[in-house]
Amino acid sequence: MSNENAGHSVDGAPGYDVVGSISTNVADGFTMVAVGDLIVSRAVTKSQDSGFGDVVKILRDSDTTFGNLEVNAFDIRFFNGYPQAEYGGAYHLS
């Protein structure tokens, strides 16, 4: 692996983070979408919001999407694990 970054040598530079500073191979036009908390309390297919499809398209069309999932990643109605885990998302069920 070369220690060259944009044509400038980084060999021997005191305190220089070679591993963290090497340029990436991300092509121009790369898109990333980030959203905040994802709290889904009912089936997404039941959504009546006319703009929801537009939001989904933005999320799907990006190269990568990040969100903070704030609910259980399983159907709690059919959960058969530790009883303590059953109450972690109970306040989202209404």
Please write the tens of the pLDDT for every residue from 9-63: 556 567 766 666 566 666 778 899 999 998 877 777 766 778 888 988 999 999 9
Q: Which residue has the higher pLDDT, 32 or 79?
A: 32
* Whether the Cβ atoms of residue 32 and residue 66 lie closer than 8 Å to each other: yes
| 3-class SS of residue 92 | helix
- Computed from CA positions of residues 58, 59, 60, 62, in that sequence, does the dihedral angle turn out positive or negative? positive
- Bridge-based pairing state of the strands 8-9 and 4-5: antiparallel
